[in-house]
Structure 1
């Protein structure tokens, strides 16, 4: 009997085993499917949480710009033969400041006419690969050329003399009114007579220092920077300003008032300098100068200009044109985080910072 029932028992055991295996298989499959769906949903949620990127603008550059073979010695000579000077414009894709330069500045007929009659304008993509031969005869790609010239912002504009020397450089966007002064200064070849700062002083009425904007984040009145409280521990931020300054008001009311800006400012010793002031003080290197003397020595010709130093007083970067919140905050973070020591390109740094913010679910608006 045992021998007769053994196959049946084995059959039942096999059936039970198959049923159990089938049940386990179904359970495992269900679990795996659920896990897969959960992962898919999580991935979707993660993707959905990535912050937006706003403010980038496409720009079409004027067809009256010079079509150049990018051999700058020849371009300088050709411009000089026509009684013109050469203007080099560095830009990048999506740059809202470049867009403002084209659509606000170059849209002004008097500015366009001045550029057409007195300059040859050549545009460069700071990340481009077109071949460029410098005035000195050295061959670069566009991005190598931008790096060699330490282009940190766009637009960056270089005006060259008839000999191919630098007449004036703009690191960032100037509005139409200030840009008109630039064109007058360069087209009339005044760089040999006076600095651009002196030129501006002679043509504008410096406002009274009594109207300078006062804010609670200033470390104190500027008297002796050699003995500032945070020397050696905190980086230094200098704000060169003037009275009755619309751009200064915008900086303080729209940019520095933001919580993120306030937190970044707390990491600095912050001092305000009257760029036309006549009161003297000790500068970071121990010289006794007035505000206007120091502004001239440092080449400050835009209000507000922000100059950022490390804790030991070495200049790291400066903002000397019109910039909005994300760029100003990124400059402050660039210094306080120490990122400038590892990444010399501010543009690469700010791009990486924008990506990090978006991965954290934050919206990045480069034109807010």
Structure 2
């Protein structure tokens, strides 16, 4: 069968992804390094994956359900287990308030959803549009998702997410509203990140995202980043400054957006509104978030989690190459990318 993969996917620069040293964790096929090979905590719930029963049992115990989607070889899953659940305060709070159910993003176990429909783990994950691991879906007593954590959150922000759902603050508003209120009260995470961020070649402010791109055929990447944000600082002052990322960024129109800014802007689909209202309509919950739009102003992909260089570079090329149009699972795209790099003698260090 003829492959549908374009040559572009095999021509990426690999300078940022050095081979791991001898003696590193479990080796996968083609010499890939598996830094995410780790068992889930013993206190996670052993479920028969009938979510109706799980929700009833959790409600009776005054708890809520968390669906934890993982995959083998996921370094961010390992980071969640080791760094987040390695903190006793987070483990205690999670055990007290939640039943955590692990689901393999590519698994074949039978899942019965809240409507009583039987499916498989991988189909269930696809239906829920799980693109990253770890992804954690927090459910209320009716089975509704009240908070979605796509990808890895650092321990401090992850603990705020636990507090938001455990305290049932979802009944009062969004997680972003909750976080903004804590920040205003001086109770949110304190950081020492750089005060401003600059992305070379970004479109001028205030943003006129349709007018400025009327003759462009390039995709648009909008970086939503707040001030005083350590993960934003790493993205701007490390990842975006790598030569390999600069090559990929040159294929995009670029824009910067502070989700708290009240300046009137023009959106990619020509609407006039406050930037903060646009961010709210897009449900921006994490900084930094990268949102990608096609030449017609339609959103086609986003990242909204902590990513190192490999995944950030992969997300950009996923859009620029057009692979998102025929490979709906971003993780499948990354898997092929890792294998291609390994065949060329460059095992990918996913956490560099």
Same fold (TM over 0.5): yes
Residues in 2 aligned to 1:68 and 1:53: alpha-carbon distance in whole angstroms: 32
What secondary structure does 1:364 align onto? coil
Equivalent residue, structure 2, for 1:189: 168
| Aligned: 1:59 with 2:43 | no
Distance 1:182 1:308, change over 3 A: same
Task: Output the aligned Cα RMSD.
Answer: 1.9
Residues in 2 aligned to 1:230 and 1:367: alpha-carbon distance in whole angstroms: 38
Equivalent residue, structure 2, for 1:80: 59
Structure 1 contact 98–173 (Cα < 8 Å) conserved:
yes
Stretches of structure 2 lacking an aligned partner (at least 5 in a row): 1-28
Equivalent residue, structure 2, for 1:263: 247
Equivalent residue, structure 1, for 2:77: 98
Residues in 2 aligned to 1:197 and 1:154: alpha-carbon distance in whole angstroms: 21
Equivalent residue, structure 2, for 1:277: 261
- CA shift for structure 1 position 288: 2.0
Equivalent residue, structure 2, for 1:212: 196
Structure number with the higher helix fraction is 1
Equivalent residue, structure 1, for 2:331: 347
- CA shift for structure 1 position 233: 0.2
Q: What is the CA deviation profile of residues 221-260 of structure 1, one whole-angstrom value per residue up to 9, with x for unaligned ones?
A: 3421111236550000000111122111101122111111
Structure 1 contact 235–269 (Cα < 8 Å) conserved:
yes
Stretches of structure 1 lacking an aligned partner (at least 5 in a row): 1-49
Structure 1 contact 200–301 (Cα < 8 Å) conserved:
no
Equivalent residue, structure 1, for 2:153: 174
Equivalent residue, structure 2, for 1:112: 91
What secondary structure does 1:169 align onto? strand
Q: What is the CA deviation profile of residues 172-194 of structure 1, one whole-angstrom value per residue up to 9, with x for unaligned ones?
A: 00011001110111111111211
Residues in 2 aligned to 1:79 and 1:354: alpha-carbon distance in whole angstroms: 39
Residues in 2 aligned to 1:359 and 1:268: alpha-carbon distance in whole angstroms: 28
What secondary structure does 2:210 align onto? helix
Structure 1 contact 51–364 (Cα < 8 Å) conserved:
no
| Aligned: 1:305 with 2:284 | no
Residues in 2 aligned to 1:224 and 1:217: alpha-carbon distance in whole angstroms: 15
Structure 1 contact 212–243 (Cα < 8 Å) conserved:
yes
Residues in 1 aligned to 2:235 and 2:30: alpha-carbon distance in whole angstroms: 25
Alignment match of 1:199 (pick from 178, 181, 188): 178
Residues in 2 aligned to 1:252 and 1:352: alpha-carbon distance in whole angstroms: 27
> What count of residue pairs does the alignment treat as equivalent?
317
